[in-house]
Amino acid sequence: MHKIGIIGLGHVGTTVAHILLMKGLVDELVLIDQNAKKVNAEYLDFSDSFARTATSAVIKRNDYAELADADIIVTAFGDIGATARTGDRFAELPINKKNAALVGKQIKASGFKGILLNIANPCDVIVNALQQATGLPRERVLGTGTFLDTARMQRAVGRHFGEDPRNVSGFVLGEHGNSQFTAWSTVKIDGEAVTKLADQGQIDLAEIDQGIKDSAFKVVAGKGYTSFAVATCAVRMIAAIFADRHEFMPASVYLEKYGCYIGYPAIIGRAGVERVKPVDLTATEQAKLVESVKTITAKANA
């Protein structure tokens, strides 16, 4: 039996719920949001679909006590409008720091002992705030982080060469935000180093990197929010936890060396973050990682 709580039923939280239900990954689903009408509406809409789906689940509403025996909680609260207006995920920081404190307190009071997966922005700062508020072990609190940005990199590189994005490996690291960077030394397509192809003039890495950073805001400019890609990333992480896949992926994880959560490769399984995997970076990439750490910590302490 798999039980998941989703806190925040905006576009992203609701999409996560929908994918989980359609994939049959959840047996009990707890939906929580400050807007009770929205919770009831989603409950009815999902329930009405079950007569036509291959799977279904027991859905419960706005009851933090139900989180006590949940396996995973997904936090997806926020104000995407602030990000859309400013072009900066840190625009959501004031409201989401308050949300994290309030939500974290109620999660702790519920007796929850599972794994907490954060999507709310700024992802790395809010993961840290939730860990502090809940008191959960750091390895059981993580965020989607640059898992999404890495998918955007795979899409961009794959499209440039007319290849399937799944043929592209490598990582976008650092903040899930403006100080993120593609660690090009890690990126390969069909097993060939992309840096080698860049040296041959086959790809402009700076242009691709900027396109990755701009991707989210192009989506927001067109429809007012992002939802499908990040929700898919969250569900992929949930599936890795439930199946104990020990899957190697970038996520917002705690790096002892820097004392903060940041997008970095880790092994994800039933225990949450089973271990962080050190990556050999160039001197330039390492400097970018340090600068991203400074950005995250400065905003977190502001």
Residues with a catalytic annotation lie at: 176
What burial class does residue 95 get, using C-beta atoms within 10 Å of its C-beta: 0-12 exposed, 13-18 middle, 19+ buried? middle
Residue 105 Cα distances to 108, 135, 263, 277, angstroms: 5, 9, 25, 31
The alpha carbon dihedral of 217, 276, 105, 59 has a sign of positive
CA 212/CA 156 separation, integer angstroms: 7
SS3 (DSSP) at 244: coil
CA angle 125, 128, 39 (to 5 degrees): 85
Residue in the structure block whose two tokens are 């962080």? 276
CA 106/CA 90 separation, integer angstroms: 24
Phi, psi of 137 (to 5 degrees): -60, 145
Residue 99 Cα distances to 76, 90, 225, 302, angstroms: 10, 14, 19, 17
Angle between helices 93-110 and 123-134 (to 10 degrees): 30
SS3 (DSSP) at 296: helix
CA angle 49, 50, 56 (to 5 degrees): 130
Sheet holding 3-7, edge to edge: 58-61, 28-32, 3-7, 72-75, 115-118, 141-143, 247-255, 260-269, 272-276
